[in-house]
Amino acid sequence: MNIALERERLNKILVDFHTLAHVRTVIYDSDFNKIAAYPERKCDFCELMKQDARSRALCKSDDHNACRICSKRNSLYMYECHAGLVEAVAPIRMNDLNLGYIMFGQVRRKERSPDEICTYAARFVPDTQQLADSVQKIKVRGEKELRAIAGVMEACTCYLLMEQLIKLDSNNQIYKLSDYITNHLSDDLSVDRLCAVLQVSRVALYELAHRYYGMSIAKYIRKKRAQEAAQLLREGQISVKAAALQVGFFDGNYFSKIFKQEFGVTPSDYKKGVNDSK
Q: Is the pLDDT of residue 33 over 90?
A: no
Longest distance between any two alpha carbons in the chain, whole Å = 72
CA–CA dist 96, 182 (Å, integer) = 11
Q: SS3 sequence, 44-92?
A: HHHHHHCCCHHHHHHHHHHHHHHHHHHHHHCCCEEEECCCCCEEEEEEE
DSSP state of 265: S
CA–CA dist 53, 34 (Å, integer) = 19
- What is the band of 1 on the pLDDT scale with cuts at 50, 70, 90? low
Q: Is the pLDDT of residue 276 over 80?
A: no
Residues 6+ apart with CB under 8 A from 221: 181, 189
Report pLDDT for 17: 95
CA 245 to each of CA 23, 237, 241, 250: distance values in angstroms, whole numbers, following the listed order? 50, 15, 6, 6
Report pLDDT for 2: 64
Q: Is the pLDDT of residue 278 over 80?
A: no
Report pLDDT for 236: 78
pLDDT average, residue stretch 207-214? 85
- 104-121 pLDDT, tens digit per residue, is 999 999 999 999 999 999
- 39-97 pLDDT, tens digit per residue, is 999 999 999 999 999 999 999 999 999 998 998 888 999 999 999 999 999 999 877 78
Report pLDDT for 218: 95
pLDDT average, residue stretch 189-212? 93
CA 218 to each of CA 88, 189, 206: distance values in angstroms, whole numbers, following the listed order? 33, 9, 9
Q: Is the pLDDT of residue 3 over 90?
A: no
Q: Is the pLDDT of residue 277 over 70?
A: no
CA–CA dist 32, 258 (Å, integer) = 33
CA 130 to each of CA 45, 121, 127: distance values in angstroms, whole numbers, following the listed order? 9, 11, 5
- Structural domains in the chain, CATH included, are 3-168 (3.30.450), 173-277 (1.10.10.60)
DSSP state of 43: P
- What is the band of 134 on the pLDDT scale with cuts at 50, 70, 90? very high
pLDDT average, residue stretch 173-201? 93
DSSP state of 42: P
